Structures are given as C-alpha cells and as structure tokens.
Amino acid sequence: MTTSPSPLSHPSYLALDRASLGEPSAEIAQHMESCAECRRHVASLAEPPPASGFVRVRQQLDAQKRSKLRVLFMLAPVVAAAAGVLLFVALRPQPELPAGQLGEQPYVGTKGFTSVWIYVKHGSASELWDGKRALFAGDRLRLKLDPGQFRHVQVYSVKGPDAPALLFTGSVTPGQSVTLPDAWKVDAEPGAERLLVAFSNQPLEPVWPDWLQGKAPPGVTLLPFVLPKSESPDLDGGAGTP
C-alpha cells in the first residue's frame, strides 16, 4: 500500500471525531450533508457516557495513588536507616586539621531537589524528551519544573556566548511542580538547542562567563540542557520508529 486516500471517499474517523468536537472543516461539513453513514457516526458521539464510567476512572487513579503511597510507606524504614547511617558518618569525630583549613569556605547546600521535564511536541504528538532524541525545526518545547525550595526561576536559550535569550522569568511556589505557560518553537538554525534553567530565590542578573561554565553563585542552581537537532524527521524515522 503506497497511498491511503480514505476508502469509499469518506473522511477519516479522526476528521469526523474532530468535527464532532467542534472543528469541522468546510470539506467535512459538505461531505456530511450527503453521507448518512458519517452523519450517524458523528451523531453517535453526541450521546454522553454514563457517569459511572468517570467514577471508575477516578477510582482507578485513586487506587494507583494509594498504591504509590503504600510503596513509600514500605520504603520509609529503609530511608530512615540510610539517613541514620549518613547522620553517623556526618557526626562522627573528625581528625584535627591544621589551622586555617576550617571555616574558610561557607557551606552552601542545594535546597531541596530541583527537576526539569522537557515536553517536545512534534506535529500533534507530544512526548517527554528522553535526553537523546533529536528535535526538528517547528517542534515546540514546554517545560515542567519542580523548584524544590526555590522561589524563582529563569529560563534562557543559549545559542552562543553572545546571544543568550531570556525565555521565561517568574516566581514559583516552593515544593509545587509547575508547567510554564509558554511553549517555544524550535528554529531552523543549525546546531543544538541549548537551554539553561536557573533556580534562585529572587530574580538574578546572569554572569554569563561563569554561568556558561556551570559556576553558580551561592544559593543558585543552574541546570543546562543540550537538545540535539536534526534537519529532517524522515532521516531517522522520528518517534516510534523501530
């Protein structure tokens, strides 16, 4: 099979389903005027499903949440034991160090765990970026962040040392993951897409020579991402290709 026009000249079920959700094209509307079969299909979609179905979906989601919590409770003793071992290692008596080696550098720790999820939308298909998959011009990127204990986030596109562009800056709620409201389109320029996510407690003025080397000032976490780019989706078959 080399071509697949819709059999019997009917639109695809996807096109009809989209029409039923309120996106009918003029072509589909015209076809439906003269096609009882397609009209029947679209009419059948207008019947609301029984409410019990949604209750079952909710029950399944709740059950999965409970089972996750159960696993966490089961792991709690292991985590507590590991914490005890770490505490012992941290508090055990240390051999005396020569004067001048203690207390010179203030300790700055990372507050909580920060995470970034990158969603890539290619056509209408969106997927979580796996850390390797190449992007294509026209793909759209959206970021979900877990700011840990930080209160502010800045996202930059770093094309080169001279051209960092601020994509997003804004406040976040500590401990609450958030999906950024903006999505960014991948351009056709050659070279990988480089993103830098900066977590802090207040808006920052970037110090690019340091930031590009990964040197973050105290109380700031920098997460760099390099997303490779490919010229044509068909060169590697794209997502889901064997």
Partner 1 sequence: MPPLDDASFEACYRRAFPLVLAKCRRMLRGHADATDVAQEVFVRLWKHRELIDDHPALTAWLYRTSTHLVIDRARNRAFSQENLAHLHSALQGRAVSDSEARFISREELRRLLADCPEPEVEAAILSRVDRLTHPEIAEVMGVGERTVRRLLGRFDERTGALQETA
- Which residues make up the interface to partner 1 (CB under 8 A)? 1-7, 10-15, 17-18, 20-23, 41, 44-49, 53-54, 56-57, 60-61, 64, 117, 119, 121-128, 142, 144, 179, 183, 232-234, 237-242
Nearer to partner 1, 48 or 209 (CB): 48
Nearer to partner 1, 16 or 216 (CB): 16
Nearer to partner 1, 54 or 113 (CB): 54
Work out how close the CB of 96 gets to partner 1 at its nearest, in angstroms, rounded to a whole number: 53
Work out how close the CB of 5 gets to partner 1 at its nearest, in angstroms, rounded to a whole number: 7
Work out how close the CB of 71 gets to partner 1 at its nearest, in angstroms, rounded to a whole number: 16
Work out how close the CB of 240 gets to partner 1 at its nearest, in angstroms, rounded to a whole number: 5
CA 119 to chain centre: 4
Nearer to partner 1, 49 or 161 (CB): 49
CA neighbor of 159 nearest in space, from 205, 210, 195, 134: 195
